[in-house]
Homo-oligomer: A and B are copies of this chain.
Amino acid sequence: MTLNTVTEQKIIAAATEVFLQRGKGGARMQEIADKAGINKALLHYYFRSKERLYDEVFRRQISAFFDELFSAALEMENIADFLHTFIHNYLDTVSAHPQVLRFVLWEIEEGGEKMVEILHQKLLERGLPALPIPRLIQRAVNRGELRPVDPVHLMMSVIGMCLYPFIARPIVENLFPGVVVNSPEFLEKRKTEIFNLVWQGIQPQPSPDD
């Protein structure tokens, strides 16, 4: 499942590099072979086609990404702790592996089915239910700890806030001189701003008869 021969290992590493630099369509088997120190014929010997080679590279990237993303506990009961941890971990993980975002965006262009499949598999491995995050949010709402927000929309909002600067990095850094998305300063500031906005935004409102 993981790594077979040394050659296979070298191919995967070279292919990952070239796919990231050129994109899926722009990548050339010749360049991958060169970078791996072998020839084109051997690429097709190990992986039947360019499509399968890309598929293998993609699955490894996404899989490692989810592993790191889920390394923080998702089964926290305290919703404040959860949100705080989730936001910090999400930003740290994306920031540490910005290249994964490009694979994800390419995958989305092709329907996103492979990614959803891998996500479900990772949740299963960890014994988590489907949609653990909306479930957590809903329970906090039911306990009256949060105002009645839509759990799915809140989850989308948090993820959208976390991802945006990385997705739009060239535009953001061009539009706001001084911003360096991957700098520790920006990252810490972003964590604080997102958490504060969300946390205050979901507090229960005092009821009229209080």
> Residues of A with Cβ closer than 8 Å to B?
23, 25-26, 102, 105, 108-109, 111-113, 115-116, 119, 131, 147, 149-150, 152-154, 156-157, 159-165, 167-172, 174-176, 179, 189-190, 193-194, 196-203, 205
Given the interface contacts A161-B157, A201-B196, does A152 sit within 8 Å of B168 by beta carbon? no
- Give Cα A190–Cα B149 distance, bound, in whole angstroms: 11
Count the copies. 2
Residues of B contacting A102 in the complex (Cβ-Cβ under 8 angstroms): 109
Label chain A's interface by main secondary structure.
helix
| Residues of B with C-beta under 8 A to A167 | 105, 108, 167
Decide if A108 touches B193 in the complex (CB within 8 Å).
no
In whole angstroms, how far apart are the Cα atoms of A115 and B189 in the complex? 26
Closest to A186 in B: B153
Residues on the B chain within 8 Å of A200, using CB = 147, 200-203, 205
A153 pairs with B193, CB closer than 8 A: yes
Indicate if the CB atoms of A174 and B109 lie closer than 8 Å.
Answer: no
Give the 6 A-B residue pairs with the shortest CB-CB distance, closest first. A160-B164, A201-B201, A112-B170, A153-B193, A160-B160, A197-B201
- Which residues of the partner chain B approach A170 to less than 8 Å between Cβ atoms? 108, 111-113
Residue on B with the closest CB to A117? B174
CA distance A133 to B180 in the complex (A): 20
Instruction: Write the chain B residue with the least CB distance to A113.
Output: B174
